[in-house]
Chains A and B, each alone.
Chain A
Amino acid sequence: MVHWSAEEKQLIASIWSKVNVEQCGAEALARLLIVYPWTQRFFDNFGNLSSPTAIIGNPKVRAHGKKVLTSFGEAIKNLDNLKGTYSKLSELHCEKLHVDPENFRLLGDILVIVLAAHFTKDFTPACQATWQKLVGLVAHALAHKYH
């Protein structure tokens, strides 16, 4: 059973309340595809991913990034039941999408960097620690139903 302190919950809520989900999600996914280009393997049908500029401008990347981060929002509403929240998505990523869970960890790390860039000095070490914990647990929940 995951334990969240009052301070951690506050750090999550205060950051999340100021996040533009569409922009942040698009940026995080674009950076994943740029910084770790092998992750493009899951997106053959996304069209032009031939350069960082193409990736950043790609409407399918933007849309999917928004989808992914919106789902993150669900996790934040259900911090005490991440495994339950992500149960169906976990099965989907294993059985249909065949995504190596390592990719969830990579995206999580990128999301933390995107948040740091947006919030700068407000993204304190304590804030980073809380968010790294969150992205790690989300990655773990998404991998939980793998077989």
Chain B
Amino acid sequence: MVLSAADKNNVKAAFGKIGGQAEEYGAEALERMFCTYPQTKTYFPHFDLGKGSAQVKAHGKKVAAALVEAANHIDDIAGALSKLSDLHAQKLRVDPVNFKLLGQCFLVVVAARNPALLTPEMHASLDKFLCAVGTVLTAKYR
């Protein structure tokens, strides 16, 4: 999966539009993921996963920051997320299938909060970008 120049521009534009709300997008994506795919909660036994959880908000902020970082270094996502990649491989070991689930939920958040932003072309670019991020985060698993 290769991000074209158009994809990269689309992704940068998207995160530009989302701006400071990225944290909320991240938190809502997690909330939707836990609700829609309850098996994902198994990675957070130590969290309060109730509505409005401060821990989920904080974690959403972290997730969003990583996506923003990847978008800002979109020519070298592997480099930008190298430490996170190590973390997921050595410590977190989240099964690769879950990145798709979070990706789906992130797209739903974008659709619900900013439908005009999610044109078909943008949808394609963001989907590719989220796949690329998931690939990087699981690249060192074995």
Interface residues of A (CB under 8 A from B): 30-31, 34-35, 52, 55-56, 109, 112-114, 116-121, 123, 125-126, 128-129, 132
Contacts and interface: CB of A to CB of B under 8 A. Distances in A.
A120 B105 CA distance: 13
Contacts of A126: 35
Contacts of A116: 108-109, 111-112, 115
B12 interface: no
Given A117-B112, A117-B115, A118-B115, A35 B124 contact: yes
B111 to A, nearest CB: 4
Given A120-B113, A126-B35, A128-B36, A35 B120 contact: yes
A128 B120 contact: no
B31 A125 contact: yes
Contacts of A113: 104, 107-108, 111, 118, 123
Contact of B35 (A31, A109, A125): A125
Given A114-B111, A123-B108, 15 more contacts: A30-B120, A34-B123, A35-B123, A35-B124, A52-B120, A56-B120, A113-B104, A113-B111, A113-B118, A117-B115, A125-B31, A125-B35, A125-B36, A126-B35, A132-B36
Contacts of B120: 30-31, 34-35, 52, 55-56
13 contacts: A31-B120, A35-B123, A35-B127, A52-B121, A56-B120, A109-B104, A112-B108, A113-B108, A120-B113, A123-B112, A125-B31, A125-B32, A125-B35
Contacts of A118: 115
Given A35-B120, A113-B118, A128 B32 contact: yes
Contacts of B37: 132
Interface of B: 28, 31-32, 35-37, 104-105, 107-109, 111-113, 115, 118, 120-121, 123-124, 127
A interface SS class: helix
A129 B33 CA distance: 9
Contacts of B104: 109, 112-113
Nearest to B105: A128
